[in-house]
């Protein structure tokens, strides 16, 4: 057994590509494990402190701004990484252009979220003020381009360390506000501080790499190129964010803040784990891009491996949550969150569809087929919203979950029938499910 382990380690070290991917993934994984521990642990204490009503109001503001978050990122992250991998000598032009595009998009996001909340809740001045505050702080997300640079060179150690410090600072503030018995608005303020702290972390991480953001420069031709590549991504992300937040908004508006508190607790319990597929995709994405143009067989191998990993993690996760989820929620959150424990059994199965959609978007980006991702996401959102209007008044939070699962299934079936390219991707996905077993069999 020791010889086998030694042999595996030696093979990894001798393969520079694999070694760099695993090293990069390990730092991202470590950071996100910390994010999980703090987000889950401190989140439980915050939820217990605020109660379903207060936690529902807190979640409503975050979900509302989340729906407009694509404006703050403009969908340029993947396109930026792709451009940096292909033309690393144009780093300052790429990063400068991407950051300004994000800033302009962020201003549009602040405007859009403000107008929308004024229409939906004209009398709720407290919610209006904190939507404006949180969306304004989200402008700091233009600093995220620094992460794109480090991701492109597979050196995320420094960025991960600085972001971890920002997470610890934010968690400490939340615990202090719990100790001083602050209301839900104070925790919105902490969320604002966290966004700003991440911007500071990116600034110093880049500075310690002996680069300066003051060297960034904007190029109109580069902007057109990034927007041309990223516009379908922006639409896709917008639809995905709307899909992940519209249910919170509809439950809050149609049933009330207390029911939203239960629903948000269940949803957060599930999606706290999304960092695992995100970390894997972030680490392997540059290698998939490289293999697409150089080795088609290796490209298909990596896509199957990605899809297979996404499915089996999400499937095993859903099974585990169904076995231990409800008792765990009762033990952590208390009896007043019993409904969240019941919701969790159904919420867990959404992970399978979410992880597939997340990985498929990256594959479609590489293949220049993002229009299929946009169309499918748009159809899912349309069907989901329609079903929610019908199901939420009768079944409350359960109706939102059933509506989402039904929408994913129906739209994927319809798209597979209507489009050969979409159908081929689904075939690769199903082959990817059994691919890990094939690799194990071949290795014997």
pLDDT in tens, 291-341: 777 777 788 888 888 888 888 888 988 999 899 989 989 998 988 999 999
List b or e across 256-287, with b for residues whose CB sees 16 or more CB atoms inside 10 angstroms. ebbbbbbbbbbbbbbebbbbbbebbbbbbbbb
Domain count, the chain: 1
Mean pLDDT of the chain: 84
Q: Which parts of the chain register pLDDT below 50?
A: 1-17
pLDDT at 375: 87
| Domain carrying residue 160 | 2-443
pLDDT at 15: 45
Contacts for 216-220: CB closer than 8 Å, 24+ residues apart: 216/92, 216/95, 216/96, 216/99, 217/92, 217/93, 217/96, 217/97, 218/93, 218/96, 218/97, 218/100, 219/93, 219/96, 219/97
Region of residue 413 (phi > 0: left; psi between -120 and 50: alpha; otherwise: beta): alpha
Take residue 290 and report the two structure tokens written for it.
Answer: 């490289």
- CA-nearest of 343, 316, 351, 341 to 44 is 341
Residues 119-159: pLDDT tens digits?
989 888 999 999 999 999 999 998 888 888 887 776 777 78
């Amino acid at each position: 057994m020791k010889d086998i382990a030694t042999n595996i380690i030696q093979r990894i070290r001798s393969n520079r590509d694999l070694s760099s991917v695993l090293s990069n993934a390990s730092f991202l994984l470590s950071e996100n494990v910390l994010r999980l521990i703090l987000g889950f642990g401190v989140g439980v204490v915050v939820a217990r402190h605020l109660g379903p009503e207060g936690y529902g109001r807190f979640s409503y503001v975050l979900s509302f701004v989340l729906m407009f978050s694509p404006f703050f990122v403009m969908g340029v992250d993947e396109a930026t990484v792709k451009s940096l991998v292909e033309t690393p000598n144009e780093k300052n032009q790429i990063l400068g252009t991407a950051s300004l595009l994000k800033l302009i998009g962020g201003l549009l996001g602040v405007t859009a979220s403000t107008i929308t909340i004024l229409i939906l809740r004209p009398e709720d001045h407290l919610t209006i003020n904190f939507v404006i505050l949180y969306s304004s702080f989200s402008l700091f997300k233009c600093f995220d381009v620094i992460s794109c640079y480090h991701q492109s060179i597979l050196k995320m150690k420094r960025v991960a360390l600085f972001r971890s410090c920002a997470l610890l600072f934010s968690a400490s503030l939340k615990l202090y506000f719990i100790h001083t018995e602050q209301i839900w608005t104070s925790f919105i303020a902490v969320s604002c501080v966290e966004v700003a702290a991440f911007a500071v972390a990116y600034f110093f991480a880049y500075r310690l790499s002996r680069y300066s953001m003051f060297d960034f420069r904007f190029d109109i031709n580069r902007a057109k190129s990034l927007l041309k590549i990223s516009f379908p991504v922006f639409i896709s992300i917008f639809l995905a964010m709307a899909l992940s937040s519209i249910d919170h908004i509809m439950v809050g508006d149609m049933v009330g803040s207390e029911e939203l508190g239960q629903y948000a607790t269940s949803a957060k319990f599930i999606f706290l784990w999304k960092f695992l597929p995100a970390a894997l995709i972030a680490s392997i994405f540059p290698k998939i891009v490289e293999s697409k143009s150089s080795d088609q067989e290796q490209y298909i191998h990596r896509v199957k491996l990605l899809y297979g990993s996404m499915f089996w993690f999400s499937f095993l996760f859903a099974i585990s949550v169904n076995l231990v989820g409800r008792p765990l929620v009762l033990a952590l959150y208390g009896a007043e969150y019993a409904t969240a424990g019941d919701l969790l059994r159904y919420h867990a199965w959404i992970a399978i569809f979410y992880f597939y959609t997340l990985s498929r978007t990256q594959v479609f980006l590489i293949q220049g087929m993002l229009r299929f991702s946009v169309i499918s996401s748009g159809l899912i959102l349309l069907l989901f919203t329609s079903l929610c209007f019908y199901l939420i008044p009768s079944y409350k939070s359960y109706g939102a979950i059933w509506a989402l699962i039904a929408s994913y299934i129906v739209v994927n079936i319809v798209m597979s029938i209507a489009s050969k390219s979409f159908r081929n991707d689904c075939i690769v996905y199903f082959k990817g499910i059994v691919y890990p077993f094939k690799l194990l069999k071949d290795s014997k």
